[in-house]
């Protein structure tokens, strides 16, 4: 009887421990096709959504493609690409990010989130995090 009591308590303890400390999983990522290189206008942005619905600005300069979240890191307003000034601008509190997404002016505490870009035979793919 004592043995079964101890085993049942240990089993219950293991379940409680597992509940309190769930295993950490690394988020899965997937390369998603967004456009053909020739369909991306020079120095302008094309906005696509990532797998979680976050709008992403894809900007082409020659063969260089940048993909940045358009969600401002201050309070979450939408930033817009201003190709003539080579910057992202947030109209809510005049936040300014350079073309790499780094904060130049205003209250945003950190750069815009970036997406890895891969070009394969003239096709542009972004690496996106899978929804949980
Ligand atoms: Fe963008 Fe405040 S929300 S600067």
Per-residue confidence (pLDDT) for residue 96, from 0 to 100: 98
Atom index in ligand 1 nearest the CA of residue 108 equals 4
Distance CA(16)–CA(6), nearest Å, equals 15
- 110 alpha carbon to ligand 1 midpoint, in Å? 11
Distance CA(17)–CA(104), nearest Å, equals 46
Q: Is 106 in the pocket of ligand 1 (CB under 6 A)?
A: yes
Distance CA(88)–CA(47), nearest Å, equals 13
Q: Is 83 in the pocket of ligand 1 (CB under 6 A)?
A: no
Residue 131: band (very low, low, confident or very high) from pLDDT cuts 50, 70, 90? confident
Atom index in ligand 1 nearest the CA of residue 79 equals 1
- 89 alpha carbon to ligand 1 midpoint, in Å? 9
Q: Candidates 79, 80, 91, 107: which one to mutate for ligand 1, based on the most atoms within 8 Å of Cβ?
A: 107
Per-residue confidence (pLDDT) for residue 128, from 0 to 100: 92
Say which residue, 15 or 29, is predicted with more confidence. Answer: 29
Say which residue, 129 or 96, is predicted with more confidence. Answer: 96
- Scan for tokens 């309190």, then name that residue: 20
Structural domains present in the chain = 29-129 (2.102.10.10)
Q: Is 96 in the pocket of ligand 1 (CB under 6 A)?
A: no
Per-residue confidence (pLDDT) for residue 84, from 0 to 100: 92
115-129 per-position pLDDT tens digit: 999 999 999 999 999
Query: Does the structure show a pLDDT above 90 at 2?
Result: no
* Structure tokens belonging to residue 115: 């997406």
- Scan for tokens 């997406």, then name that residue: 115
**Residue range 20-38: mean pLDDT, rounded:** 85
12-23 per-position pLDDT tens digit: 877 777 777 777
39-89 per-position pLDDT tens digit: 999 989 999 999 999 999 999 988 899 999 999 999 999 999 999 999 999
Per-residue confidence (pLDDT) for residue 82, from 0 to 100: 95
Per-residue confidence (pLDDT) for residue 13, from 0 to 100: 79
């Amino acid at each position: 009887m004592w043995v079964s009591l101890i085993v049942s308590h240990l089993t219950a303890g293991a379940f409680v421990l597992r509940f309190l400390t769930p295993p950490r999983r690394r988020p899965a990522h997937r390369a998603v096709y967004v456009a053909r290189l020739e369909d991306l206008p020079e120095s302008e942005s094309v906005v696509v959504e990532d797998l979680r619905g976050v709008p992403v600005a894809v900007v082409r300069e020659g063969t260089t493609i940048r993909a940045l979240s358009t969600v401002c890191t201050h309070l979450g307003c939408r930033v817009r690409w201003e190709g003539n000034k080579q910057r992202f601008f947030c109209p809510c509190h005049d936040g300014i990010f350079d073309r790499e997404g780094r904060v130049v002016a205003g209250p945003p505490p950190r750069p815009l989130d970036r997406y890895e870009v891969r070009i394969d035979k003239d096709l542009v793919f972004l690496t996106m995090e899978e929804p949980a």
